[in-house]
Amino acid sequence: MEFLIVGLVLFLGVHSVRLIGMRGPLIAMLGQGGYSIIYSLVSAVGLALIIYGHILAHPSEAVWAPPEWTRTAALVLVPLSILLIVSAYLPGHIRSTVRHPMTLGVLVWAAAHLIANGEIASLVLFGSFAAWSLVTLLGAYIRGGAFASEGSWSADGIAFAVALIASGLLAWFHMQLFGVAVVEFASDPYATSIQSP
């Protein structure tokens, strides 16, 4: 659990420098290149520790037993979160309307996993991401701002297609990547029941 917590502090901490008003001073001190390098390194180390720490801690002590509907909800919410995250990189109507699709996508992803997992390591992991993304999103909306262009439908179509493919691949390989099955394989006698993504 220690690795998971340290990873969360590093990863979410470095992604909060703008929120606490430190991005400008850090760039002034380190230069844009130095800031980008350190930002990337800390993010990578934090993410690696999060993954490693969660693997070590899993399975951890159960806090509550999520009802079956939460897993079904996660199967709907996770593709939605991927659509939002992908839309952050494409100039479509989704991005211009939501304004902060990346952060909202992280919030939806974290919330989907939070409601569908009842063991302590997952609650720490997804709860931290949910809290961070909620605070960051509220701050972003308070600051205001909008995209100059309303966006294009073709960009939205690409976002839908990429999200659909990515969601299918994640569901199919979720067990190999994260140790938790999303789909049940009837031909596999050792397959687990549907789990949260």
* Residues 135-157: tens digit of each pLDDT: 999 988 888 766 656 778 999 99
Domain end position, chosen among 57, 78, 97: 57
Region class of 101: left (phi > 0), else alpha (psi between -120 and 50), else beta = alpha
Whether residue 190 is predicted with pLDDT greater than 80 in this model: the reply is: no
pLDDT for residue 40: 94
Do 33 and 121 sit in the same domain of this protein? Answer: no
pLDDT digits (tens, 9 = 90+) for 79-100: 999 999 999 999 999 998 998 9
Do 169 and 156 sit in the same domain of this protein? Answer: yes
Do 115 and 137 sit in the same domain of this protein? Answer: yes
Do 117 and 30 sit in the same domain of this protein? Answer: no
Do 46 and 72 sit in the same domain of this protein? Answer: no
pLDDT for residue 193: 38
Do 70 and 8 sit in the same domain of this protein? Answer: no
Whether residue 105 is predicted with pLDDT greater than 90 in this model: the reply is: yes
State mean pLDDT over 37-61: 88
CA distance 99 to 88: 8
Report which of residues 145 and 169 the model is more confident about: 169
Would you call 152 helix, strand, or coil by DSSP? Answer: strand
Residue 183 — pLDDT band, cuts 50, 70, 90?
Answer: low
Do 141 and 153 sit in the same domain of this protein? Answer: yes
Do 88 and 42 sit in the same domain of this protein? Answer: no
pLDDT for residue 23: 84
Do 143 and 184 sit in the same domain of this protein? Answer: yes
Instruction: Kindly state the tokens that stand for 94.
Output: 């989704």
Domain that holds residue 7: 1-57
> Which residues, listed in sequence order, are joined to residue 92 by a DSSP beta bridge?
152
Do 151 and 191 sit in the same domain of this protein? Answer: yes
Do 151 and 107 sit in the same domain of this protein? Answer: yes
Instruction: Kindly state the tokens that stand for 112.
Output: 């989907």
Do 98 and 183 sit in the same domain of this protein? Answer: yes
Q: What is the mean pLDDT of the chain?
A: 85
Would you call 184 helix, strand, or coil by DSSP? Answer: coil
Domain count for the chain: 2
